[in-house]
Every structure is written in structure tokens, then in C-alpha cells.
Amino acid sequence: MTTTLTSADAAPADAASTGTGPRRTRRRRGRGANDPVGGAGASILLWGYAVLALAPLVIMVLNSFRTNADFITNPLGLPTSPTVAAYEEAWTVGSFGTYFANSLTVTAGAVAISTAVSTMAAYGLARGRARIFRWLESLFLSGLMLPIHLAILPVFFLFDGFGLIDSRLGLALMYAAAGVPFSIFVLTTFFRQLPEELEEAAVLDGANAWQTFWRIMVPMVRPALATVAVFRFVPIWNDFLYPLVLLRSESKYTLPVGLTNFFGENATNYSALFAGLVITTIPLIVLFLFATKQIVAGLTAGMSK
């Protein structure tokens, strides 16, 4: 799917990540010059670094299946008799069940709202001819690099005025708005690549603008929608400052804030802490396994200025 993403910028990314294209043909005539750099020594280095990248996460998972007493007597040990006691404790006593549900509601809600309004806007921007559309497009794109966390005080008072303090809906709306620039940026380029004959045919068949958009255009950009949704999910799920400031009651905390709460009160209950960390991380790992392509595409889409 990456081949359709942001023309010039993603093209090298795609060639690099799939290893197809010109490289295949060159392999035959290039002697020596095209061998992997560094040979076997480099392979060891690369796999060694992979171990370094993953070991802390593996240790986190392994220790979450041990009891606290087991961990304290031998911090380097393996879960020889694995137990889910730590998870039960974190989920119920540590309220991670509540935090998990809150995080899921807020993140899924924000991604849905953000993707919906951005898809509409991107279509308008891609097809609008008047000058105002160019102006609006640069307005949205200026938001790509805004450090929005610095606006937390005005956001706080805005929410206070709307009665949105300590509200999961408010938090979701905030995240949805923050995701608009990136989503519009990716989706507009996709819409621009679709031939206008599609819409002209639909109009001849008597479809109005909304029907054309919903029935014809949206299905065509489905891969881009997946990229945008998946890629936005991660930072919202992980965000810390907004829920820290905007949420008050423990029953509404999202996972990062709930984790901080739990960490402060149970600093020596190591196995439950490890379980809490795993609970906070697992949805992202699952997402990653199912949508590696979308996440990699999102990362390289961010590189185009």
C-alpha cells in the first residue's frame, strides 16, 4: 500500500523497505559492490543490537508472570512456575481494568472523530479550486509541528468554561483536534492522486457531492485511512500531560496517569508494577503486529516536510 503514499517522499522509503524494484536487476551484474556492508561481523552487531532493543521489554513481560517474593529473592530468575496473580492484582486492586477501559474509549473515540472530519476536509482541499482552499490547507499544515502541549493553560480554561474538566469526552475532542493536521496532510495527497473522471462519472449518474464522496471516494482511500488511524492511535494512547491536567477523578484516569498513581502507592510491589506496564503496552504491541505496514508508512510520511 505504501506505493500510493505521498509520491516523491515515500517512494524511496518503499523501495528500501520492500527490497524490490531496480535492486533485483542490479544484483546480477554488481559484483562485490552490492554485497552487504561488513559481512558476518556486522550481522552479529545488528542482531546484538536487536537483542538490546528488545531485552528490556522481554524482561518486563517475564517478570510480570512471577510473584513478588520470587522476584525479590532472585531478580534475574525466569518465571519457572508462571502465575497471573500479578495481573489479577493490578487489574482489580490497582484499578487497571478501569484505566484500560478509559484509555480505550478516549483513544478510539478520538481516532474515529479525527479521521472522519479529516477525511472530509482532505477531500474538500484536494478538489477545491478557489484560492481560499490553498490558504486553509497551509493553515492546517502549520499545525503539524505546533507544540500543542504548551497551550495547556488556555485549554484548561476553555474546558473549564465548557464544563469539560474531568470529562473523557473533552479529552477525546482535544486529541481529535490535535490529530487533524497529520491526518489531513496524509489524506489530501491520497485524494489528489485519484482521477477526477471517477467523480464526473458519478455526477452523470445523478449522485450528489456527499454520495460521490461517501460511496466512491472514501472506499478508494481505505489504505490511507488505516495508516492515519493506526498511526494516530499510538501517541493518543501514550499521552500523559493532558489527562494529568484535565482529569480529576481516579475513575476516569487513562493508563499513563493511572500507572503514575499506582507507581506512587506500590513502589515495592515489583511484579504488579511489571504487570501494569505490560497492560499499558499490550494493545500497542497487538496493533503493531497487525499493522506494521501502516506504522512504518506513517513514520516515513512524517519525514516529508
When binding is defined by CB under 8 A, the residue of 57, 84, 101, 112 that contacts another protein is 57
Pair 252, 170: CB distance under 8 Å = no
Pair 128, 192: CB distance under 8 Å = no
Pair 180, 143: CB distance under 8 Å = yes
Give the burial class of 85: count Cβ atoms within 10 A of its Cβ; 0-12 exposed, 13-18 middle, 19 or more buried.
middle
Contact characters 9-28, another protein, x per CB under 8 A: --xxx-xxxxx--xx--x--
Region from 57-65, 79-87, 88-96, 219-227 binding another protein, contact rule CB under 8 A: 57-65
Please tell me whether residue 177 binds another protein under the rule CB under 8 A.
Answer: yes
Q: CB-based contacts of 27: which residues, under 8 Å, 6+ apart?
A: 34
Please tell me whether residue 94 binds another protein under the rule CB under 8 A.
Answer: no
Is 289 in a helix, a strand, or coil? helix
Closer CB to another protein, 98 or 123, in the complex? 123
CB of 50 to another protein, least distance (A): 4
Closer CB to another protein, 35 or 250, in the complex? 35
> How far is 2 from 248, CA to CA, in rounded Å?
42
CB of 26 to another protein, least distance (A): 6
Region from 78-86, 94-102, 180-188, 219-227 binding another protein, contact rule CB under 8 A: 180-188
Please tell me whether residue 274 binds another protein under the rule CB under 8 A.
Answer: yes
Restricting to residues 71-90, name those near another protein by CB under 8 A: 71-72, 75-76
Pair 266, 272: CB distance under 8 Å = yes
Q: What angle do CA 290, 188, 112 make, to 5 degrees?
A: 50
Restricting to residues 99-138, name those near another protein by CB under 8 A: 113, 116-118, 120-121, 123-125, 127-130, 132-133, 136
Pair 179, 118: CB distance under 8 Å = yes
Region from 79-87, 92-100, 169-177, 219-227 binding another protein, contact rule CB under 8 A: 169-177
When binding is defined by CB under 8 A, the residue of 90, 106, 111, 155 that contacts another protein is 155
Q: CB-based contacts of 234: which residues, under 8 Å, 6+ apart?
A: 284, 287, 295
Please tell me whether residue 296 binds another protein under the rule CB under 8 A.
Answer: yes
Please tell me whether residue 50 binds another protein under the rule CB under 8 A.
Answer: yes
Please tell me whether residue 242 binds another protein under the rule CB under 8 A.
Answer: no
Closer CB to another protein, 59 or 93, in the complex? 59
Restricting to residues 218-237, name those near another protein by CB under 8 A: 234, 237
Q: Which three cell numbers stand for residue 195?
A: 482521477
CB of 265 to another protein, least distance (A): 13
When binding is defined by CB under 8 A, the residue of 241, 248, 250, 251 that contacts another protein is 241
Amino acid at the residue 283: P
Distance of CA 96 to the CA centre of its chain: 21
Give the E-state strand segments of the chain in sequence order: none
